[in-house]
Amino acid sequence: MQKTTLGPSGIECSAIGLGTWAMGGWMWGGGDNAAAVLAIQASLDAGVNLIDTAPAYGLGRSESIVGTALKGRRHEAVIATKCGLVWHTQQGTHFFEEDGHPVYRYLGRESIIHEAEESLKRLQTDYIDLYITHWQDSTTPVEETMSTLLELKKQGKIRAIGVSNVSPETLAEYLRYGPVDAAQERYSLIDREIEQTLVPLCTEHNVAVLGYSSLALGLLAGPIDPERKFTGDDQRATNPRFSAQNRAKLKAFFEELEPLRKQLECSFGQLMIAWTLARGSISVALCGARVSKQAIENAGAGSVRLHDAALQLIDAAAGRHLGSLA
């Protein structure tokens, strides 16, 4: 497994991280707690020690699953969780409804302190390795948010500070008040905008970049059966990227990459995860999983090395088939 460091914090972690959004069930058609616990433990066994979660993933469900999975193994894991999407208060800006609860973007001092304590309880730990502002809050000054995070760090409740879904301008403002260890943003073969916007600033200030949705909600995991249906509240049911037309484009894309996949003896999903790491824009590729098989397969991408010719081949195939996949 490749390793990396979370910015100025010096915290070492695996270059592949386990994303636990789907384990919370919300927007993924439900979930299986027992299977999720086994998936987290399988990730640790396979060398993936960065576990990424958030209170909003199932209104605490995902964090509780992580806490259960890490009993007796907390020392093996680097836990990243988040703050700023709240349902205990109606301060801030209304964002969405989750299971009948209105969720707000809010990063005020008292709210962050409350969220941190609740997360510590659910995670069954006395410290969080990386604490990330999940979405930014236009109603609270960044100085107030950052001073609160620095206070929690001084108390030993968090070890490192991160931001997510942030503009370069807002990240620069965070950096005015203290070190930011990581920025978490969407990044994959078909989502590369941050290469031109956020990555240069992160590189300049030694901010690690965690790329989430490395497989684009599963779109890049391999050819999708034209007959497959996404049910319940699964967001992919209404996502235009999963249309029949796009599935045909993906099929042609993966067919072109089949010789390379065979040569490297890996899955298509592993090939796409390896691409995100080899491109050099991100420090960690976050990959979601709900069962052990998925977790183990994702972890296996850490041993796949892509030479320049392979990267050029993948980029060229993506340009031919996936350029309009939006």
Q: Show Cβ contacts of residue 72 under 8 Å, excluding neighbours closer than 6 positions.
A: none
Q: Show Cβ contacts of residue 69 under 8 Å, excluding neighbours closer than 6 positions.
A: 36, 37, 38, 40, 41
- Provide the Cα torsion 238, 239, 240, 244; round to 10°: -70
Residue 161 one-letter amino acid: I
DSSP string, 158-215: EEEEEEES--HHHHHHHHHHS---EEEEE-BTTB-GGGTTTHHHHHHTT-EEEEE-TT
Q: Out of 57, 104, 106, 131, which one is annotated catalytic?
A: 57
**Longest Cα–Cα distance in the chain:** 55
Tokens representing residue 237 in the block:
């049911």
Q: Show Cβ contacts of residue 247 under 8 Å, excluding neighbours closer than 6 positions.
A: 223, 224, 226
Active site (annotated) includes residue 57 = yes
Tokens representing residue 199 in the block:
């990555």
Catalytic residues: 57
